Chain A
Amino acid sequence: GAVVSQHPSRVICKSGTSVKIECRSLDFQATTMFWYRQFPKQSLMLMATSNEGSKATYEQGVEKDKFLINHASLTLSTLTVTSAHPEDSSFYICSAGGSGTVSNQPQHFGDGTRLSIL
């Protein structure tokens, strides 16, 4: 089945640092990928839809200048948390599948990145 790889799995860094998270679809091409954020004991909240070759679509309330998304190829999307602060600490998960050229496939998730800002 479809596999989505995400890394790093864990990041601990100082406030003000920018952090890049990578999401790769390993055995299929994904014109669309999704980025979610999950706080402890809460559900997954969609942050943005990453579109290959074009601008990402951000959900209401998500700062596009804070969370930079780049989807430069059909198998890679990156999320950069710029000038991270403690309130950005969360579990970030990407997913792919279920839309665009692979709309008949289920949506599969990466392993997630636990971001801790000190």
Chain B
Amino acid sequence: GENVEQHPSTLSVQEGDSAVIKCTYSDSASNYFPWYKQELGKRPQLIIDIRSNVGEKKDQRIAVTLNKTAKHFSLHITETQPEDSAVYFCAVRGYSTLTFGKGTMLLVSP
């Protein structure tokens, strides 16, 4: 089955800095790569996603890049704010089920 590795497990940045979270996957047939943000005790919320026919996608301060050859994709958050603090999960989908990374706890200090 699919194997998803996510790094780092924790990330501390100062407000205004950029944050980058990386994921690698194993199944070259995977074609959909979403990122979810989960605040404590709440549901994961989709923040951005990318499909395999696209190399980069941006939505305001958030961007995702995908390298299909190397089988890795990254989440980039610019101008971080304290409210960006949460756990971020990458995920990979091949046929129908999502496989999640282990998560990155992002802490943005004022």
Contacts and interface: CB of A to CB of B under 8 A. Distances in A.
Contacts, number: 50
A99 B42 contact: no
Contact of B96 (A91, A100, A111, A112): A100
A34 B44 contact: no
Contact of B43 (A32, A46, A99, A112): A112
Contacts of B89: 43-44
Nearest to B32: A98
A49 B96 contact: yes
A95 B45 CA distance: 11
Interface in B83-100: 89, 93, 96-100
Give the interface SS of chain B, mostly helix, strand, loop or mixed.
strand
B98 A111 contact: no
Interface in A23-51: 32, 34, 42-46, 49
B34 A106 contact: yes
B96 A99 contact: yes
Size category of the B interface is 20 to 34
A100 B93 CA distance: 13
Interface in B74-110: 89, 93, 96-103
Given A43-B103, A106-B49, A34 B41 contact: no
A93 B44 contact: yes
Interface in A101-118: 103, 106-112, 114
A64 B103 CA distance: 27
Nearest to A32: B96
B46 interface: yes
A21 to B, nearest CB: 13
Interface of B: 32, 34, 36, 41-46, 49, 89, 93, 96-103
